[in-house]
Structure 1
């Protein structure tokens, strides 16, 4: 299955499949942002399976580099799936996830339905 553009409510979201290329760093993030913008997306829904463990080790700075690409191009990023295992291992990551979910740029959500609900609440 390929990554596709979907309307969640009236918000165009580039929905990525779990079996696509891993987003290891800024280069892959830039490619993903480019594809999403080309499709006309305002958000990217990225399954947690597409992120490497380095993303969840904040001291690696991988998460910061990836998220910064999305911020620079003003496109939202929703990481979909269970991150509880990673959060249980790091209080800094737990704080990062909590603060991200309070904002409007990066969310850690369980699935597309939760993203649909969050986007509906943002309007």
Structure 2
């Protein structure tokens, strides 16, 4: 796993830059174990599509791990391609907390996760 460390503000943030596809909770736990910071930015393309189908419970399991391990996660991409109202609600609620944020750019993720 390759990371770029951003130190723009008070919190160092690790951006996953290497090729990786998170297909399971185990993959996510490996990411957490290898990340050099507890604030992490990943691209949407690094997450298996099943994450965005809430019926699979993959997203919920990841959210639980984020909470349990006290990490912050920025997911960067275009989420407008999904038509699910449940997913839109999930993203909106998640973005309120700044614990897990769904944003369009890495810079947005860095701003939201800093501090």
TM over 0.5: yes
So what's the TM-score if we normalise by structure 1?
Answer: 0.85
SS of the equivalent of 1:8 reads coil
Which is helix-richer, 1 or 2? Answer: 1
Q: How many residues align?
A: 115
SS of the equivalent of 1:82 reads coil
Instruction: Report the equivalent of 2:14.
Output: 14
Which of 66, 69, 74 aligns to 1:70? It is: 66
Matched, 1:107 2:101: yes
Q: Where in structure 2 are there 5+ consecutive unaligned residues?
A: none
RMSD: 1.7
So what's the TM-score if we normalise by structure 2?
Answer: 0.90
Q: Return the structure number with greater relative CO, CA threshold 8 A, min gap 6.
A: 2
Deviation (angstroms), 1:48: 0.3
Deviation >3 Å, runs of 4+ = none
Deviation (angstroms), 1:55: 0.2
